[in-house]
Structure 1
Amino acid sequence: MRNFVLIILGLVLTFNVVAQDKSTKSDVFVIVDDMPEYPGGQEALRNDIASLVKYPLQAKENGIQGKVYVTFVVNKEGDIEGAKIARGVDPSLDKEALRVMNELNKTWKPGKQDGSPVKVSYTVPIKFALDGDEKKESNMKSGEGADAVFFIVEDMPEFPGGDEALRKYIANALSYPEIAQEKKIQGKVYVSFVVEKDGSVGDAKIARGVDPSLDKEALRVVKNLPTWKPGKQRGEPVRVSYTVPINFALN
């Protein structure tokens, strides 16, 4: 039986960016002045998730792999509520990812808007990857040589100004397509891209779309992102894959 490697991907980009308002009708914010923080930071969140996950036996036997997106709300008290699958792979993997998120028993530092605690939506992508006889690092990238694309590296890429600056850039750059507004089309678009060795954004594509007009706008914004601080593995710049969920919501 094969072993497995669990890769927690892109936790620095697990926010949802809303195209118009900062909050929804249910008062769950998707972007706030002070985003929620997990105790110990993102590294601690990755480690805690990895320590709780148990690769489902059925999925291992059937060679099922993939990335599960779990969305939840960090409430005003810092607790997780309403966890659900935003994008699944297989019932067994989806169930396990959901179980893990519901069993995280640490209280977050709640998000704040205008100085007051508020509910904030969060999305975490978790990749389940089986490991054969190859080295662990080979499961953390695709391709070989100079063109290899890593999913997680020792020093992850950084947007200039950090996560908050990236959130604001995307929110300010988005323009809700008129045709989508007229037809009342809403939804979350997942855009994947590669932060190249020189920090530029390349190979942007729709990982999960909603509507051609929304997909096109999300892709336009991501393709025009400014230069990042590139990711590094063993001290050398490498190509790193990222996925950004962008939520288009009408009033």
Structure 2
Amino acid sequence: MSAPINVRAFFAPDDPEACMRFYEGHSKLLQIYFGIHKITSGNVDWLHHKNTVVVIVEDETGTKTYGGARVQIADGVLPLPIEMAVGKYDPKVYTDVVPGSAEICGLWNSKEVAGMGIGSLILSRVCVALTSQLPVGNVHVLCAPVTVRGAKRVGAVIDTSLGNEGVFYYPKDDLVATAMIIRDNHELASADPSEQALIRDLRSSPNQIRTETGPKGTFEVNYMLGLPQMVP
């Protein structure tokens, strides 16, 4: 990909048009490739939720969407997707989600950028970096098998207190999901040292252009991760 790609973050109500591109791209991917028509992280309630941060991957014009993810803060108004997904199987999740909890959810990337590392690493790294701008202490994530490794790299550990040692059959009986958690989103003691350094760099300079290297080579990324101060 010759032109730089943009990776930007914003609170969901601040850009409804981009939110719809995110939602439609995510929904289409789930339906076409996984046969999933209903998933808790794919509902529309977050579109107007002031405590949801959207991360979107776009072309340089800001009109074509290649993927994204969300960081949803637990606020007692909108349940976290992990609560809705596994609560009926293990009610303990409701006591695990406390003030200061958040969830990285809705992570996806289009086939156009598959193999570049955008979905597997960059989006996870960006979401974890963003938590330093938010009133967040611990971060939940419900991972498909292909994303467990990437979550571990950025500091998540399997939450063995939930389900069967952290494992659930979700969103369908033939699919497995793993509950994971980052309990120290500022220190990230469990993260790979290389990821710790990259996350610290994004936290100290949330707006920057950097050359990234993925399985398919190098590409330029224009990070626009500075968020406006949250209003209580």
More strand by share: 1
More helix by share: 2
Shorter-chain TM range is under 0.3
* Bigger relative contact order, structure 1 or 2 (CA pairs below 8 A, ≥6 apart): 1
Bigger Rg, structure 1 or 2: 1
TM-score (norm 2): 0.28
